[in-house]
Structures are given as structure tokens and as C-alpha cells.
A = this chain, B = another copy of it.
Amino acid sequence: MKTAKKRMLSGNKAMAEAISQEMERDSNVFVLGEDIGKYGGIFGSTQGLIETYGPERVLDTPISETAFIGAAIGAAAEGMRPVAELMFVDFFGVCMDQIYNHMAKIPYMSGGNVKLPMVLMTAVGGGYNDAAQHSQTLYATFAHLPGMKVVAPSTPYDLKGMMTSAIRDDNPVVFMFHKSLQGLGWMDQLDEAVGNVPEEAYTVPLDKAAVVREGKDVTIVGIQMMTHYAVQAAEKLADEGIEAEVIDLRSLAPIDKDTILTSLKKTGRLLVVDEDYLSYGMTAEIAAIAAEGALYDLEAPVRRLAVPDVPLPYSSVLEDFVIPGKEKIYQEVKSLLEEG
């Protein structure tokens, strides 16, 4: 029996704990990627694993993403359960063929006869001036293509629970973790990057959004950092008597339409916030869901906030301008409430 005392863990420790527990539970689970051994993963998601499970189950790879992700696919087809790390999601372009043409399609093309129980985990997100090739989230790039579940948890609790679900799932899961929410010692120290995490293994579903704040005046949908900024903005709005409902999407594919539509029925107003690019992005999909399924509930045009179709610029002044933050969300909601 656990004590009621809260057990606080950082995001990356929560992930590493999930992986470790699943490795303990199932000898078919193994981990591979760049610098995931002694280094423990650049963002700490594999810390401690090599010490516990040794280099046979925790494999540092060469800089050969196509080879090692492809090998994970081949191993999964034989019943192993690999967890492969693509260090930054920004690198997807060197190995996307393996991800989307093979990992995501083989189960379907085989008529369900080949299962690929594997997790591709990858770091997303900007906000620390790592510029155009190391700051993207690319949520929609993955979520647009069928055959992979795509999740992006926002809290240590969900990072652990959804990682456990992902490893136990018999389908390929792309697991995106946000660098700023890992609780890294060398990044901005955010309260949101640390949270209560039960020690025992538990699962969180891979297809459910969460209402993280209830409200009646407007619905704000976000994911990862944008969810947290939305909550912060909502608190500020609350001081002015505006009650925003904040939804943490958590899963990009499959997407939980019901939670969104239910909320819109109540609030009649929608702001979608995304750290990914604006056009053809998550904000578009959710706006479309609203236009299809909640048109008669909407009291004002849908609003979208996202990176305005520019690569992520380096300089702080520029990056701050393009990535939505608490203040922009606050302003956008204020202006949205004046309409309609």
C-alpha cells in the first residue's frame, strides 16, 4: 500500500520509470537510440536504464535513424517490443520513410497479420532558442498520416501512464514528449515539469483528451506547453470573471472529438492554440471538427493561434513573437469574447 504522500517526479523520470517497469515486466521490451545509454537520453527519458538492464537491452546506436528505426520495425514484427528514440522530432526527415511507409502501414497492408508493437519516442518543442532545425513540434506532420497513434502528454503523470499504455499497445505509437516539460536541470525550471507520479505501474488511455480546467465562457484547446499556457491565461481571465474551459488534447491521433464537442456545446466559443505551424495543423483539424460538428453551437468565429507559417527563428525576440504564450492566449480570448 502506498502512502498518501505525494511522490513528485520530473517528466523525464516519470517516462524512464514507465519504461523501466515495462522492461522489468516483459523481457521483449528493449530500448534503442542515440545517446540513450550512459548519457541516459539527451532529455533524460532513458536515465538509469542501462545501469539496470545493461547494454543488451539498452542500445546506443550510430547516427543512422533509418537503420535503427527500421530495425525496430523488423524486431517488432518478430514479437519484440522496441522503444526507439528519435532524439529530436526535427530529424524525422532522415527516417520518415521507415516511420510512415512501414511502421504505420505494415499492419494494414498485411491485413492485420503483422503486428508492430513498438513505440517511437521523440522530443518536441521550442522556446529555448534552438532555432529552425531543433525547435519544432510537428504534431500535424505525424497525426496526418494514418496507422500510428500519436500522443503528446503534458504532465509527469500522463507521461508515465501514457508511456506504459504505449509500450503495452500492440500498435505503433509515436510518443512525443516536450523538452520543456521534462524537468531538465539545464532548462527553464517550470512547475509544470514536476508532478505527482504513483510508483506502481498504471495506464492512461491513448485516445482521450482531458478537461484540465472547467469553464463556461470559452473553450481553449491546447496540447503540452500550450495547455499549460492556456491554464495560466485562464487564471488571469478568471480574475476578470471570465471562465475558460481548457482541454488538454493529449492524443493527436486518434483525436477525441467528443470531449471537444461537449465543451463547445457549453461554451459556444473556441480558441485552438498550437506550438506547431498554423496552416494544415492541429488548429485546422480542431476548427474543422467544430465547423462540422458544432456549427450551431458556435457564437463566434473560431480562433486559431499557432506558429505563423515561418520556420522557428533563433533570436529570442523573434522566437517569442512566433510561439504563442500566455499573454497572446489571454488577448485572443478577450477579443474572441467581444465578438458574436
Contacts and interface: CB of A to CB of B under 8 A. Distances in A.
Interface stretch (A71-79, A99-107, A154-162): A99-107
Most chain B CB neighbours (cut-off 10 Å) among A94, A304, A310: A94
Contacts of A300: 295
Nearest to A139: B280
Contacts of A15: none
Given A279-B285, A292-B301, A132 B108 contact: yes
Contacts of A104: 311
A132 B91 CA distance: 24
A281 interface: yes
Interface in A125-182: 131-133, 140-141, 143-147
Contact size range, A: 35 or more
A125 to B, nearest CB: 16
A177 to B, nearest CB: 20
Shortest Cβ-Cβ A-B pairs, 10 listed = A93-B97, A93-B96, A287-B288, A144-B280, A291-B291, A284-B288, A291-B302, A284-B284, A295-B301, A140-B280
Interface of A: 66, 90-101, 104-105, 108-109, 131-133, 140-141, 143-147, 252-253, 255, 276-277, 279-285, 287-288, 290-293, 295-296, 298, 300-304, 309-311, 313-314
Given A66-B94, A109-B311, A280-B280, 19 more contacts: A93-B95, A93-B97, A93-B101, A101-B132, A109-B314, A143-B279, A144-B144, A144-B276, A144-B277, A144-B280, A145-B277, A146-B277, A147-B310, A280-B284, A284-B284, A287-B288, A288-B288, A288-B302, A292-B304
